[in-house]
Structure 1
Amino acid sequence: MKRRRNSFNRRLAISSVLLLSLVLSACSANGGQSVKEADSPPGASATRDITIRIGFQKYGTINILKADGALDKRLADERNIKIDWIEFPGGPQLLEALNVGSLDVGHTGEAPPIFAQAAGAPLVYLAHEPASPESEGIIVPKDSPIQTVADLKGKTVVLNKGSNVHYLLVKQLEQAGVAYKDVNVKFLPPADARAAFEKGIVDAWVIWDPFLAAAQTATGGKLLADGTGVVSNHEFYLATRAFAEKYPDIVDILLEESNKIDIWSKEHPKELAEKLSPQLGIDVESLILAAGRRAYGVQPIDGELIQIQQAIADTFYDLELIPKVIDINDAILK
């Protein structure tokens, strides 16, 4: 398949198609009302209210957008569109909702869209954030005798199945010469994993920020390894294909506002932490730590990113974590 090599502006415009098509599906879910096309003269209002369903996780640019409120205001003022913000404990759960038509747009790391695509989800990639390998890691209790990733052989490790950290564990074990099957991997969402970690039920926890930072701050847990030199850890903007292909201008607005808040966040880590703390229920100190470990700035999906995602997908297939070979190009807008 041909890979898209468009300019950033064109990519955002095509991405816009994704988000506008999301609006359509949202309206269908709300009583089957049709959505007025974005062809009204300047200043004209939509004849009916529209609601876009945007999924978010704790942390990430879309989460910051929700806390800031600028996207809500702009869509309401310019398009008479409302946002229904829906929180998920992780990317896999978010994309399950997108797959069954309960969600229009969302954000996840690298692994969840691969599992979702393998399950037949009608998703497309809109854009991505820069690599943030330090924003995920393998943590062990402060008094643990485990000193290296190689020491995880025969141990119990907990993580959120299908998330970015799933791939982190695979690659770290590979680098340490430990077979994936030689580690007892258990799957739990972040809140349950944190409880198991604190009770000493598991030997290690593979997790992303801000949960990683919060666990380090609160428990004194030791960072065994992060993604540096091993994985990229990109955050992706995703939508249903139908939404993206029908409403490009809305996708444009989403990505433009995401980039704006990214620029602000990079320059104001303390203010960002203070803004998010009440919403996330995580202390400011932990959020400042997390903010300093991630990269910012909306970027287009290009050939290099497609190759990175394809390598992850092929690895998961080889490990029989997904049931079939997938082609990442099938989830790229043409």
Structure 2
Amino acid sequence: MLLPRALRAPAALLTALLLPFAAACGGSARADSEHDVTLRVGATGWKVEEAVLKFAHLDDTPYKVKWSVFQGGDQQLQAVRANALDLASSSEIPPVFSAADGRPNFKVVAVQRGSTLNQEVVVPKGSKVTGIAGLKGRKVGYVKNTTAHYFLYELLKQAGLTWSDIDAKPLLPNDGLAALNGGSIDAFASYGTSVITAHQQGATTVGSGADILSGNFLWSARDSVLKNSAEKTAAADLIARITKAYAYVRDGREADFAKVVAENTHQPVAQAEQDLTAQQKQRPTQARTVDDTAIASQQKVADAFTELGALPSRLDVKSFWTTALNADLKKAL
């Protein structure tokens, strides 16, 4: 559910760019019923959630959904901060950085369990690097403030290296692929479609985040959504529908949905089916309500970034989680 451009714009600049969009969308107008609701929802890479809902015939929502595509969950959270999105999906990491200033305008409202496959450190065709230890002193691209940042750090530790042992280059997925193929970096830590594309171009895997990452992907909602009962109900319903849609796919329809995936990720249908089947076997996509275990999992990640020096001080992640959607989500599921 990810895609692969240009070096990351500073958060302040991206926020400034998003503000006119937020204004044009009028923020989130107060809704008295679900029929009055328009949820602005983020998607990473391509609109896989919209596609799976349509495939499962569950896109007939009583509310409107406006999907917007971003290169990563970090940009989705920046859009939420700029009031340009109502609901964002991401790994555990983007909310940590979006809340680090102590003034988040969102809460994590649900957990979507998902696959951690296609989260890899890759090297280009012909590289002599065969493992993470071989990255010492080399230029390594990574997608900053994402799962790639986290699993690269953990893989380096496992190999007896520190972050300072590599020449780390923060790059967005598209830029990382171009840099890898152009020879300006020796390896690239990324995820999803960018990893799939890298392999199509001859790249090989030297490290994987599959067993490092928790598989918890978070739904974050703007505070204003949680203050409006119709919007809150709509958000819970949408999250539940996505769970039901993936269950529909797993009920013997993987081959058919793989055709939709292949069309959007530009890979052979057979490869798309193989990846989809492996992902759903590893960890079926399904939503869960907020609990202490999920919060503790993100706290572990946040502490790692504090140790890395990416956060100025320890962050108590519980401060931006809420159980406010639990009752609605349980009912919708």
**Mapping of residues 105-184 of structure 1, within 5 Å:** 105-119=87-101, 120-130=103-113, 132-184=115-167
Larger RCO of the pair (alpha carbons < 8 Å, separation 6+): 1
Q: How many Å apart are 1:70 and its aligned residue?
A: 4.6
1:254 to 238, 246, 250: 238
TM-superposition CA deviations, 1:63-88 (whole Å, max 9, x none): 5446548554223xxxxx32221110
| 3-state SS, counterpart of residue 238 of structure 1 | strand
Who is 1:93 aligned against? 75
State yes or no: 1:274 paired with 2:259.
yes
| 3-state SS, counterpart of residue 291 of structure 1 | helix
Q: Where do 5+ consecutive residues of structure 2 fail to align?
A: 1-20, 324-333
Who is 1:41 aligned against? none
Please give the alpha-carbon distance, in whole angstroms, between the structure 1 residues aligned to 2:31 and 2:213: 43
Please give the alpha-carbon distance, in whole angstroms, between the structure 2 residues aligned to 1:32 and 1:299: 28
How many residues of Structure 1 are paired with residues of Structure 2 in the alignment? 295
Who is 2:170 aligned against? 187
Please give the alpha-carbon distance, in whole angstroms, between the structure 2 residues aligned to 1:33 and 1:141: 45
Q: How many Å apart are 1:263 and its aligned residue?
A: 0.9
| 3-state SS, counterpart of residue 140 of structure 2 | strand
Tell which deviates more after alignment, 53-62 or 307-316.
53-62
TM-superposition CA deviations, 1:81-134 (whole Å, max 9, x none): 322211101111111111111110121112111111114332222222325333
Q: How many Å apart are 1:288 and its aligned residue?
A: 2.8
State yes or no: 1:284 paired with 2:269.
yes
Please give the alpha-carbon distance, in whole angstroms, between the structure 2 residues aligned to 1:297 and 1:200: 39
TM-superposition CA deviations, 1:183-220 (whole Å, max 9, x none): 1111111111111111222111111123212321x122
Any conservation in 1 of the 2:28–2:86 contact (CA below 8 Å)? Answer: no
Who is 1:239 aligned against? 221
Please give the alpha-carbon distance, in whole angstroms, between the structure 2 residues aligned to 1:57 and 1:234: 15
Please give the alpha-carbon distance, in whole angstroms, between the structure 1 residues aligned to 2:23 and 2:127: 52
Please give the alpha-carbon distance, in whole angstroms, between the structure 1 residues aligned to 2:174 and 2:162: 27
Who is 1:55 aligned against? 42
Give me the identity figure in percent.
24
**TM-score computed with the length of structure 1 as normaliser:** 0.80
TM-superposition CA deviations, 1:201-240 (whole Å, max 9, x none): 2111111123212321x12211112124333242222211
TM-superposition CA deviations, 1:130-158 (whole Å, max 9, x none): 25333311111131111111111111111
Please give the alpha-carbon distance, in whole angstroms, between the structure 1 residues aligned to 2:22 and 2:185: 44
Q: How many Å apart are 1:61 and its aligned residue?
A: 5.7
Who is 2:14 aligned against? none
Any conservation in 1 of the 2:135–2:166 contact (CA below 8 Å)? Answer: yes
Change (3 A) 1:285 1:205: farther
Who is 1:229 aligned against? 211
Root mean square deviation, CA, Å = 2.6
The amino acid that maps onto 1:292 is T
Q: How many Å apart are 1:272 and its aligned residue?
A: 1.9
Who is 1:14 aligned against? none
The amino acid that maps onto 1:36 is A
Change (3 A) 1:292 1:27: same
Any conservation in 1 of the 2:53–2:241 contact (CA below 8 Å)? Answer: no
State yes or no: 1:206 paired with 2:189.
yes
| 3-state SS, counterpart of residue 117 of structure 2 | helix
Q: How many Å apart are 1:269 and its aligned residue?
A: 2.8
The amino acid that maps onto 2:31 is K
Q: How many Å apart are 1:282 and its aligned residue?
A: 4.5
